[in-house]
A and B are shown apart, each in its own frame.
Chain A
Amino acid sequence: MVGRPKCERPVVNMLEIDNLNVWFGKHRDRVDAVKGASFTVGQGESFGLVGESGSGKSTILRAITGLAPLWSGGMIVDGQPLDHRRKRAFFKTVQMVFQDPYASLHPRHSVDQVLGETLHLHGFSDIDARVVKLLDDVGLGQKFRFRYPHQLSGGQRQRVAIARALAPEPHLLLLDEPTSALDVSVQAEILNLLVDLRASRGLTYLMVSHDLSVVGHMCDRLAVMKDGEIVEVLAVDALRAMKASHPYSKHLLEASL
């Protein structure tokens, strides 16, 4: 019963992944990171990918954004099939937030530069007003505008990374373990922010996490991955009721309680 959710779903799909294979290296060194993954994410839905390290969950996100060049299968974002080159319009639709806020911001660029450059690249003209708005939206405010990453805490950096992802006004956000490097109290703040932004902007989330309780809090449905394959797609209600059917999902569920 893989990929047949029982909960109500929006009719329009934001993301369709069909029989996706991703690999690295060639010939003898070839490693198949993702094998035949298929799932769909509806518009406005929040979908989780869980699994252990090396199960290929982050690789799926990287393949969607074009950071993993070797892939086959079908990927459709907002009705547009993806080929091996991403157009600028794609990045107006899809943005990504990375795991480590310490590594994903340029150490010598101020918050203003980071956001201003992104806005400039996407062709906005009212940059000044937009930077202010973005900082307010992620709960940072004006006083952080001219700070450098080393003057920010981990949670504040992640807020800047989220603001940068929101700058081109995307519809789909790819979240790669957005809170795993943060303390639990800061994690709560960031998760609340993500919930609010999704509601106010009608965003669609594809979220990778190893923490089932975080995915349970954030997502409507999730896919469990093991060794590059999706072993089960289930609704979060089923997860809460401990109704996983695949033995591996059960094992993962038991281990995280």
Chain B
Amino acid sequence: MMGTLLDVENLWVKFPSRNGVFDAVRGVSFTLGRERLGIVGESGSGKSMTGRAILRLIRPPGIVEAAQISLDGVDLMKLSEKDMRAVRGQKISMVMQDPKFSLNPVMTIGDQIIEAYRLHNSATKAQAYKKSLEMLEAVSIRDPERVMRAYPHEMSGGMGQRIMIAMMLIPNPEILIADEPTSALDVSVQRQVLDIMDKLVKERGMGLIFISHDLNLVADFCDRVLIMYAGRIVEVCEADKLHEAQHPYTRGLLNSLPRLDMPRDRLAVLQRDPEWSVAPSVSARL
């Protein structure tokens, strides 16, 4: 791993409610280099909130607090909303779970990509069109001319997700945050989308934050994994050693998965220890 792209220290996300303040993320610290960093956890563990908080996408009344979220030495917490807009998309991009809700249903794919490109670059329409075709080819879309003319509902889930990735890559960001990018996809399509992201990380030297609930997928695909529970990081490990994880929560999750190679009559059920949500967050800063 070469150099640190992003340094997050003591990140909290709070939501005031009628019953007092709810802490969605509690004191999370990690660094991201030119690597594939996985964040896994169950629903409600704060993994998506962590991703959104980095881009300062938590809307009031939600509160984001952090000692620092620094990108190339610039603390994102101190930037104005105007400067933050230049970071979003340009330096840090985000791919959401479901392409159905992320693409504009009444605009052709081509118009959407061209718009995204011209927003970030001063280019003529013809140049933008050419560049958009290249982007679609970069994410292995066959027949990109036809796709440029098509509307989102004419695309399959896998194609939609690849189009989203193509759009995110136009400004050549340093960091890509992918929030469950393959959960809505079939297994064989999932593989293709992962291969594309993998290639981009290697070729462009991007940092990737890969948020997922799928332990096996993350163990297979990422370099380093953070395991989150109740807003905290409970364990950090190398992805290929995830199956040797020590924390009882991680062990419990792994044991509750049915496996083809190891048939069992009953699946192990996770016994939750209240201690896990009280213990301080493990730091994943290098």
A52 to B263, CA, bound (A): 23
* B55-67 near A? 1/0 per residue, CB < 8 Å: 0000000000000
Closest to A218 in B: B258
- A188 near B269 with CB under 8 A, answer yes
B186 contact from A53, A154, A218, Cβ within 8 A? A53
Contact (A185, B258) CB under 8 Å given A191-B267, A255-B187: no
Report if A86 contacts B (CB, 8 A): no
A240 contact from B186, B187, B260, B267, Cβ within 8 A? B260
User: Of the 9-residue stretches A29-37, A124-132, A164-172, A209-217, which lies at the interface with chain B?
Assistant: A209-217
Main secondary structure of the interface of A (DSSP, over half): helix
Report if A8 contacts B (CB, 8 A): no
- A192 near B187 with CB under 8 A, answer no
A188 to B187, CA, bound (A): 21
- B188 near A187 with CB under 8 A, answer no
Distance of A50 from chain B, by nearest CB (Å): 10
- A195 near B215 with CB under 8 A, answer no
- B265 near A257 with CB under 8 A, answer no
B258 contact from A183, A217, A255, Cβ within 8 A? A217
- A185 near B260 with CB under 8 A, answer no
- A188 near B256 with CB under 8 A, answer yes
- A217 near B269 with CB under 8 A, answer no
User: Considering only CB atoms and an 8 Å cut-off, how many residues of chain B contact the other chain?
Assistant: 27
- B269 near A185 with CB under 8 A, answer yes
* A16-50 near B? 1/0 per residue, CB < 8 Å: 00000000000000000000000000000000000
- B260 near A212 with CB under 8 A, answer yes
Report if B88 contacts A (CB, 8 A): no
B157 contact from A53, A187, A214, A240, Cβ within 8 A? A53
Main secondary structure of the interface of B (DSSP, over half): loop
Contact (A184, B188) CB under 8 Å given A192-B267, A195-B265, A216-B263: no
* B111-140 near A? 1/0 per residue, CB < 8 Å: 000000000000000000000000000000
A192 to B256, CA, bound (A): 10
Report if B253 contacts A (CB, 8 A): yes
Closest to A214 in B: B258
Report if B149 contacts A (CB, 8 A): no
Residues of chain A contacted by B261 (CB below 8 angstroms): 240
A195 to B266, CA, bound (A): 8
B191 contact from A212, A214, A240, A255, Cβ within 8 A? A255
- A216 near B260 with CB under 8 A, answer yes
A34 to B153, CA, bound (A): 22
A192 to B258, CA, bound (A): 11
Q: Which of A144-188 contact B (CB under 8 A)?
A: 154, 183-185, 187-188
Contact (A185, B263) CB under 8 Å given A52-B188, A216-B258, A252-B187: no
Report if B252 contacts A (CB, 8 A): yes
Report if B79 contacts A (CB, 8 A): no
Report if B107 contacts A (CB, 8 A): no
Residues of chain A contacted by B191 (CB below 8 angstroms): 255
- B266 near A213 with CB under 8 A, answer no
Instruction: For the complex of A and B, list the 7 residue pairs with the smallest distance between their C-beta atoms, beginning with the closest.
Output: A217-B258, A188-B256, A188-B267, A185-B270, A52-B186, A183-B42, A255-B187
Instruction: Please name 5 pairs of A and B residues whose Cβ atoms are closer than 8 Å in the assembled complex, sorted by A.
Output: A184-B256, A216-B259, A240-B260, A251-B188, A256-B187
